[in-house]
Amino acid sequence: MAKQSKRDLFEDLELYNEKEDNPVIPLAMGAPGTDTISGCKEILLESTRITLTNEDEKYIFQYGPMKGDPDFLDELARFLSSEYGNDVDSDNLMATAGATQGLHLTASVMFDRSTPVFVEDPTYFIAIKILREDLGMNIIPVPTDGDGIIPEALETAIKEKVIAGSETKTPFKGMVYLMTTFSNPRGISTSPERCRRLVHLARKYDMLLFTEDVYNLLSYTGTCPPPRLMFYDDKNDDDFKGNVLSNGTFSKILAPGIRLGWIEAPERILELVAKCNTSWSGGCFNHYASRLMTTALKQGMLTKHLHKIRSIYARRMNLLYDLLCEDFPVPIVCEKPKGGFFLWAELPSSLDSKLLLQIGIEKHGVNFIIGSSTSPTESYKNCIRLSISFCDDEKLKRGVQKLKDAVREYQSIWGQDK
Ligand SMILES: Cc1ncc(COP(=O)(O)O)c(C=O)c1O
């Protein structure tokens, strides 16, 4: 692949580094790899053939409805209800061009620059940059523990940062950006008790809980995933207002290149995001791909693909965990995630993962995400995020071996000092 002149995702992750003698194994990469993207071509070929044979060109090539094609939303609702194991109403769905666009749209349309955005620490590293650098928003880090964002800390931060009586352009005084199912980077899910507590806080302080539900369908326990946060914002509650938005994507369960996703939200939120001027100008954010996906969903192609990749990823998560537990050169603390792409490992507190990454890339040919880049406060310096999504079993084994070699070299240079 030709190297592009500007910085891009693949360059960041060293994918262009094609030095024959020392290719970098990208344990950083949170995208499907060759073996899990395999099959997409057949799905898209077949759904394109069926769709274009049957569909009227004056509709499929036209601007799409602002919320998305009704047939697509119905099929999506059926698919999600079955995979989540609890009901999704198509009236609560809109189509997006992926989770990144869902975040950008929501944050830019619903909030002003000055609005506080409470962000889990650690979180998805690029989201920090989108909110802080692209949108110039006021990011407030909130500590997490093994159960996700800490409600008491969130309440304290809200009380401190949300100015009573301040004007906002929506009913929401602020946004909380979080992941409660198979999170990025920690791979953890939040308990039902804590989810209820978060919803309670959101209602009390008029917060929008923006949840990234991008890994939920990659559950490796053979059961449905833990319910998404929106499940706890129950319409039957006396104090229900609709405070949760669920941001989903086909990137992790099919292919990032198709740029298709969805937002699931109560009516008062959908009214704001689906009926904004951006939607008015461009219509549905990816109408054509949504029509192809409607066919893939109707034919059961996506379900079949999902079941296939889930078993590959489940096996690989076991493999990664076992490899790390075997002769790791320094004490390592990690839990095996029950779903998603990422395993979070805590190395000794004196270790600086930035220096380790440098040794990993330059001397051993392996990369990973360093903890401090996932942290709005640049904490977690001794932690690393490893991905199971991109490397096949063999590459994963070599990658972990290289990681262990890099740790040994780090130790020989820095000893216990760093
Ligand atoms: C939490 C989170 N949100 C969004 C994305 C990007 O999703 P999409 O390809 O749908 O824009 C990722 C990918 O790594 C992610 O982990």
Q: Taking a C-beta distance cutoff of 8 angstroms, is the pair 178, 163 a contact?
A: no
Q: Taking a C-beta distance cutoff of 8 angstroms, is the pair 128, 376 a contact?
A: yes
Q: Which two tokens stand for residue 250?
A: 């086909």
Q: What is the pLDDT of residue 2?
A: 41
Q: Strand, coil or helix: what is 78?
A: helix
Distance 99 CA to ligand 1 centre (A): 5
- Give CA separation, 29 vs 33, 199, 398, 399, in Å: 9, 32, 15, 12
Q: Taking a C-beta distance cutoff of 8 angstroms, is the pair 339, 219 a contact?
A: yes
Q: What is the pLDDT of residue 174?
A: 95
Our separate counts of H helices and E strands in the chain read 15, 13
List pLDDT tens digits, range 246-297.
Answer: 999 999 999 999 999 999 999 999 999 999 999 999 999 999 999 999 999 9
Top mutation candidate among 100, 182, 215, 369 for ligand 1, by most atoms within 8 Å of CB: 100
Distance 222 CA to ligand 1 centre (A): 24
Q: What is the pLDDT of residue 416?
A: 61
Top mutation candidate among 106, 214, 229, 341 for ligand 1, by most atoms within 8 Å of CB: 214
Q: Which two tokens stand for residue 402?
A: 């290289």
- Could you list the beta-strand ranges (E) of 227-300: 244-249, 261-264
Dihedral sign, Cα of residue 217, residue 220, residue 224, residue 229: negative
CB-hemisphere CA count at 13 Å for 409? 18
Distance 124 CA to ligand 1 centre (A): 8
Question: Which 8-state DSSP code applies to residue 219?
Answer: B
With a 6 Å cutoff on the Cβ, whether 99 touches ligand 1 is yes
* Average pLDDT of the residues in 346-357: 97
Is the whole-model pTM more than 0.85? yes
